[in-house]
Amino acid sequence: MGGVQSFLQQFTGGGGGGAVPAGGQASPSPVSSSASSRSRSGSTRLGVLQDTGSTAEEQYSVVLHDDDWHTYDEVEGALVRLGMPRVKAGQVTMNVDQVGDVVVVTGALSSRAVQESIRVLSMDTRLVTSVESVHVRQLVANAGYMCEWLAQLS
């Protein structure tokens, strides 16, 4: 697990906010793709893996993003390797394809569940993932709701 910890520290500086793409390149904003903006409906909260450790640390979500390179079987297999039941992994795989992204696990960066998710999804299978602050992700979603509301006023 030391590799995942150093990988995270390289991009977070030991704890910062915002989105940290697991692929290693900074994104312009925590939610920058059109697929992510479509996910503001709340359906991305499908992740079934939850770290039950201490809540004293800031919480982060490992987000799986849709891509055109991986098959359903590859994505489903990676989710099963994380301990997700095969039926649920199939549902999550279909949801990420339809919505654009899905939160797979939420917890502290130091938690085993978050580190294992990053290792399996991003480093082992090269799926498109990001690690995002739960707080920042909620702020971005709220900003989207406000923009929609303001557009309806005019």
Kindly list the structural domains of the chain, giving each domain's residue range(s) and its CATH number in brackets, ordered by start. 2-153 (3.30.1390.10)
- pLDDT band at 154; cut points 50, 70, 90: confident
Q: What is the pLDDT of residue 17?
A: 39
Among the listed residues 58, 59, 103, the one whose alpha carbon sits nearest the alpha carbon of residue 84: 103
- Report the chain's mean pLDDT, rounded to a whole number: 74
Share of the chain above pLDDT 70, in %: 64
Q: Within 13 A of 6's CA, how many CA atoms are on the CB side?
A: 3
Query: Residue 49 above 70 pLDDT?
Result: no
Q: What is the pLDDT of residue 16?
A: 38
Please name the residue that has the structure tokens 């990053």.
118
pLDDT in tens, 5-42: 544 444 344 433 344 334 433 332 222 233 333 333 33
pTM above 0.85, yes or no: no
